[in-house]
Structure 1
Amino acid sequence: MAERNRIYFASDLHLGMHPEEESLRREKLFVQWLEEIRDNASELWLLGDVFDFWFEYKKVVPRGFTRFLGALATLSDAGVEIHLITGNHDIWIFDYLPEEIGLQVHRQSITRTWNKHLFHLGHGDGLYHNDRKYRMLQAFFKN
């Protein structure tokens, strides 16, 4: 068994985006990649817009993404730390993924150090500070 010492990053999968066939193809390719990294990954960072749209309402979550969610659960069960920094398309992720899969949800950018190198991790939405309308909309959605 390989040593678990690799950190992987992915963003902007937009799973669920039309056309449906293309989204399913993208999901299957990503699941294949997750299976390939399973034995040597220590951490997986999903940097926003994993889903094109995700909205949780109490006990209801969006339909689909079964392969992807199962692959994440398998990684988590294998001891891989999974982090998701929300983007502008998946800000309504609440308790389901942390409770069912064990991933950690972050709503802000994060700065981390690995091997003496400093990394700033985030989705990138909202970087343009003069976009007041977008910032107001984000503040509204996050409340």
Structure 2
Amino acid sequence: MKLFISDLHLQEDRPALTEAFLRFLDERAVHARQLYLLGDLFEYWAGDDDLDTPFHRRIVTALRGLAERGVELFWIAGNRDFLVGAAFAQAVGLTLLPETWVIEDHGRRIVLVHGDAQCTDDVNYMTFRAQVRQPAWQQQFLAMPLAQRKQIIAGLRDNSRKDQAAKSHDIMDVTPQAIAAVFNETGSTVMIHGHTHRPALHAVDGKLRYVLPDWEPERTPPRGGWIAIGSDGVITRHALDGAALA
């Protein structure tokens, strides 16, 4: 069985979210052969030199324990944690994947992305994304003291919240053209992604696009969940309590 999650936005001041994630690892992911983390596992990641904070160490230890029990872990960066690097991967025991990755399952090509690169109508974000994904920018940013990086990230998060409040929901969603391009370029018939916080199953032109949920277990009713591909190849969507969704 393969499991897929994204957009947890783990952070120390949301203990219910942390507990929900750890419970998922202990009760669900431990039974999988592979777990794919498709971006924004963390609310932000300032660099691998932040590994040893107590909160981050708790998450790393839990993931490492899962890997040591034989579950293969794979990581695609999100828009909040794209600075995760080799030190984090080594500490956890996971494999870092490029931003577009194709897996083969039961004769199907399934493409995995975070989803932010396909929100092409959000021109301001796409410009920002192009800048911060450049190796030279990342090298310069990571050379700054950790405390300074965290201050900059806090400012970027504040600006992002203000920008999102002024944007239409459609602008912050993926565009049909960008999705079609990913399907065409990869020769895939199934896509799994997150980022938009709009969990759904879309069927277009004979292709299936599964959108992962963000996690908010504090809400009533709780929000969150995952996608599974069983040993029989059947793809299912699951709510936070494990219930299968249509």
Does the alignment reach a TM-score above 0.5?
A: yes
2:3 is the counterpart of 1:12 = no
The within-5 A match list for 1:1-143 is 6-16=1-11, 20=13, 23-56=14-47, 59-61=49-51, 63=53, 64-143=55-134
Specify whether residues 53 and 62 from structure 1 end up closer, same or farther in structure 2 by C-alpha distance, changes over 3 A only.
farther
Alignment partners' CA distance in 2, 1:39 and 1:136: 39
Q: Percent identity?
A: 28
Letter in 1 for 2:6: S
TM-score relative to the length of structure 2:
0.50
Specify whether residues 14 and 27 from structure 1 end up closer, same or farther in structure 2 by C-alpha distance, changes over 3 A only.
same
Letter in 2 for 1:8: L
The question of whether the paired residues in 2 share the 8 Å contact of 1:7 and 1:43 is answered with: yes
Alignment partners' CA distance in 1, 2:15 and 2:98: 27
Query: Higher helix proportion, which one?
Result: 2
List structure 1 segments (4+ residues) > 6 angstroms apart after TM superposition. Answer: none
Letter in 2 for 1:109: T
Range that drifts further, 28-37 or 104-113 = 104-113
1:61 shift after superposition: 3.3
Residue-by-residue CA offset, 1:105-131 (whole Å, 9 max, x unaligned): 224121212122321211100202343
Structure 2: runs of 5 or more not aligned: 135-246
Alignment partners' CA distance in 2, 1:62 and 1:54: 12
Q: Aligned-pair RMSD on alpha carbons?
A: 1.9
1:110 is paired with a residue whose SS is strand
Letter in 2 for 1:7: K
The question of whether the paired residues in 2 share the 8 Å contact of 1:14 and 1:51 is answered with: yes
**Structure of greater Rg:** 2
Count of residue correspondences:
133
Structure 1: runs of 5 or more not aligned: 1-5
The question of whether the paired residues in 2 share the 8 Å contact of 1:110 and 1:120 is answered with: yes
TM-score relative to the length of structure 1:
0.82
Residue-by-residue CA offset, 1:50-107 (whole Å, 9 max, x unaligned): 00010115x3437313432222101111121101111100011112221111111224
Letter in 2 for 1:100: A
The question of whether the paired residues in 2 share the 8 Å contact of 1:55 and 1:62 is answered with: no
